[in-house]
């Protein structure tokens, strides 16, 4: 990927004012379009954003291209006892606007997240990806992630 293609690209921590755009990005794929409330005034999104924003072990990172948010991800720093007390960086909700996919923005943004993880002293980066996201799996493979574990999830229902 030529660096010139990424001119004008910057990364920063998400602001609450970005929330509507973040919801658009989350819904900009086949799985998210039926799951997320784009344009929603659902207070659950605001509460979640505020909790993430206040937590020093959480970060919502956005990629801006010429002043427009075109990508996002969430990174969570997790302390652990295993691996001699190693910290882990868990990366989630990686999204790039469909109109600019294939330009290296996702890889660039993941690079910023991995840099942040190294600065925090993390010794491993991990993520999960829905089995149906075949393109995303190829992307993570290209970045050096390996399909090394089996993941399980259990829906616990709503708390409201």
pLDDT computed for residue 160 by the predictor:
47
23-27, 128-132, 138-142, 154-158: the lowest-pLDDT one: 154-158
Determine the pLDDT at residue 109: 96
For residue 32, the model assigns a pLDDT of 60
Question: Contact at 8 Å (CB) between 26 and 95?
Answer: yes
* pLDDT above 70 for 159: no
* Residues in CB range of 157: below 8 A, 6 or more apart: none
DSSP line for 23-81: HHHHHSSTTGGGTS-TT---HHHHHHHHHHHH-TTEEEEEEEETTEEEEEEEEEEE--S
Q: 92 phi and psi, to 5 degrees? A: -145, 165
In the prediction, which pLDDT does 130 show?
A: 87
pLDDT tens digits, one per residue of 36-69? 666 667 888 999 999 999 999 999 999 999 999 9
Mean pLDDT over the full length of the chain: 89
Q: How confident is the model at residue 153 (pLDDT cuts 50, 70, 90)?
A: confident
> Which percentage of the chain shows pLDDT scores above 90?
68
What pLDDT digit, counting tens, does each position of 112-123 carry?
999 999 999 999
Does 4 have pLDDT greater than 60?
Answer: no
pTM: 0.86
Other beta carbons less than 10 A from residue 127's beta carbon: 19
């Amino acid at each position: 990927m030529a660096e010139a293609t990424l001119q004008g690209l910057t990364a920063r921590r998400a602001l609450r004012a970005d929330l509507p755009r973040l919801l658009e990005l989350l819904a900009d794929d086949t799985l998210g379009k039926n799951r997320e409330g784009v344009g929603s005034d659902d207070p659950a999104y605001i509460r979640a954003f505020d909790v993430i924003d206040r937590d020093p072990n959480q970060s919502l990172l956005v990629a801006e291209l010429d002043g427009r948010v075109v990508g996002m991800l969430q990174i969570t720093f997790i302390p652990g006892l295993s691996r001699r007390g190693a910290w882990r960086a868990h990366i989630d909700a990686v999204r790039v606007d469909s109109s600019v996919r294939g330009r290296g923005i996702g890889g660039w943004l993941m690079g910023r997240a991995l840099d942040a993880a190294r600065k925090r002293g993390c010794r491993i980066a991990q993520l999960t990806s829905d089995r149906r996201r075949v393109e995303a799996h190829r992307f993570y493979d290209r970045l050096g992630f390996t399909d090394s574990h089996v993941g399980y999830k259990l829906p616990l229902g709503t708390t409201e």
